Amino acid sequence: MQIENPLQQEFLKPEFIIDTLIRRRWIVIIPFILALAVGSYLAVTLPKIYEAETLILVEPQRVPTNYVQSVVSNEEVEARINTLSQQILSRTNLEKIINQFNLYADPQFEGMFTEDKVNALRKNITVQTTTSRRETNAFSITYRGKDPQKVMDVTNTLATYFIDENLKVREAQAIGTSDFLEAELVSMRRRLEEQERALEAYRTSNMGELPEQLETNLRILDRLQEQLTERQEGLRDARSRLAMLRNQASTGLLTDQTAAGDTSPREPDPLDPAALQAELARLQSRYTDKHPDIIKIKQQLKDLEANGTTSAAEAPTTRREPVQITDVRREIENTTADIGRIQSEIMTYERRVESTPKREQELMALQRDYENLQESYSSLLNRKLEADISVNMERKQKGEQFRVLDQARLPKRPVEPNMQMLFLITIAAGLGMGGGIIFLLEYMNAGFRSPKEVELTLGLPMIALLPFIEDSKTRMVKMLNWVATGVAVAAAGIMLVVFASLALKGVEESLALVSKVKNLIL
């Protein structure tokens, strides 16, 4: 809503408000300091209640229920937690906790009966379930007390009690069921184990010919047939190339060369004069007569002449077979060896495939005997096996169990009283009290505060303004007033910091901070 009165508009200007606060600063400072003092006192002296909470997750059975069915009663988790709560929060357990952590040992509880202590402890403990998607999958344990360390320790101890008690109850149920069935199944289990051993021994002795291995054997056999076909085709191709190379060698069209693409010179035959002469000519075109290879070939030619092996008739007999023919012959030998190995493997797998029907019949007979024995005692045996597995599962903690998801931690701030709210209320009360007093004083003040106010009130222009004449005494008082104001503002700031630390950080952390600052200063 728009204010039409010019005088009211003048009062709402920031300049007027700031000037008023400066003139009446002590009305703001003093209530604010008093409020901070009261708030700090309350923050230190009010009895503090700390709270610690631990969250426990209800983990489902780790082993899939399709494989292992627990014999422990599957009551609702919420009902089971309520049952465990009644056991754990019993008088015996709570007395143990009271004695363990020396609870209610303060002088104010000196005349308190044990029953009252137990009831007080039980009242400060809260067990609450957490439901997700219509299922209870977690629950929390909360404890309240005055000592934060004891609050944390008691909460964690209660969580341990819940976890241990749940494991004991489940294991006891599983063991009881197993013991009941054990007496009826000793002889039956022995016969079944004997039959199982016979069946396993048969499978081991006939490994490779079992029915479930037939498909694998057929796939391997098909692969071996393909390899045999490839090797036989390669053998035919190699034999054709060998015949062609021999034909070329007989007609003189094939020379002794390295494999295709290899252009490096080969070592000449030491018994072939023609080859030695050709190599000598090649080397002499590149090196001098003092080159070691030239000297070596000349010596070989001299040795041939001395031995009389340089005749044209003997030269062809000493010439070796062309390397192309040698490579093809070696390829034929390797391929022939592969074909023999593959054929041997084919015969082995064919025997396995042929023996599979016979093994299947024999295995079916053993399996039928085993199934007949199992069917005779299936109901009782299955229950016993489930009980044994369930006992083992519970002992190894693989069944449904409780696990601490969030462990209780040392509470830093009390839950009662609410320090943040106390801090805000104290600040608001100090400032509100000073502001309210200033508003009342200004509202009740009928004097003029400024020349502008005189003109607006009387509707006449200001002709002259006589200033306030200050003497030395007045100036001294004014200066001291401002010094006192500065000291008061500094004190208020320090008190505000202290109160904020007490309210937001706690007494212990505030004292630790003060100690650190003191050490730094000293």
In a domain, 412, yes or no: no
**Residue 2 pLDDT > 60, yes or no?**
no
3-state secondary structure 301-366: HHHHHHHCCCCCCCHHHHCCCCHHHHHHHHHHHHHHHHHHHHHHHHHHHHHHHHHHHHHHHHHHHH
Q: How far apart are CA 482 and CA 421, in angstroms?
A: 33
- Residues 27, 56 within the same domain: no
- Residues 180, 301 within the same domain: no
In a domain, 515, yes or no: yes
- Residues 95, 129 within the same domain: yes
The per-residue pLDDT for 174 is 80
The per-residue pLDDT for 311 is 45
Across 254-269, average pLDDT: 50
**Whose CA is closest to 294, among 268, 315, 319, 317?**
268
The per-residue pLDDT for 223 is 92
- Residues 100, 40 within the same domain: no
In the chain, the number of structural domains is: 3
- Domain final position from 319, 341, 356: 319
For 453, the 3-state DSSP assignment is helix
- Residues 162, 289 within the same domain: no
Q: How far apart are CA 161 and CA 174, in angstroms?
A: 20
- Residues 168, 127 within the same domain: yes
Range of 172's domain?
A: 50-185+386-406
Tell me, what CATH number does 123's domain have?
Answer: 3.30.1890
In a domain, 297, yes or no: yes
Q: Provide the pLDDT confidence category of residue 69 given band limits of 50, 70 and 90.
A: low
- Residues 144, 125 within the same domain: yes
For 464, the 3-state DSSP assignment is coil
The per-residue pLDDT for 258 is 43
- Residues 73, 167 within the same domain: yes
pTM equals: 0.47
> How much is the mean pLDDT over the chain?
78
**Residue 287 pLDDT > 90, yes or no?**
no
In a domain, 171, yes or no: yes
**Residue 157 pLDDT > 90, yes or no?**
yes
Across 199-213, average pLDDT: 86
The per-residue pLDDT for 5 is 55
Q: From the DSSP assignment, how many helices (H) and strands (E) are in the chain? A: 17, 4
- Residues 424, 455 within the same domain: yes
Q: Provide the pLDDT confidence category of residue 466 given band limits of 50, 70 and 90.
A: low
- DSSP lists the bridge partners of residue 127 as 141
- Residues 90, 16 within the same domain: no
The per-residue pLDDT for 160 is 93
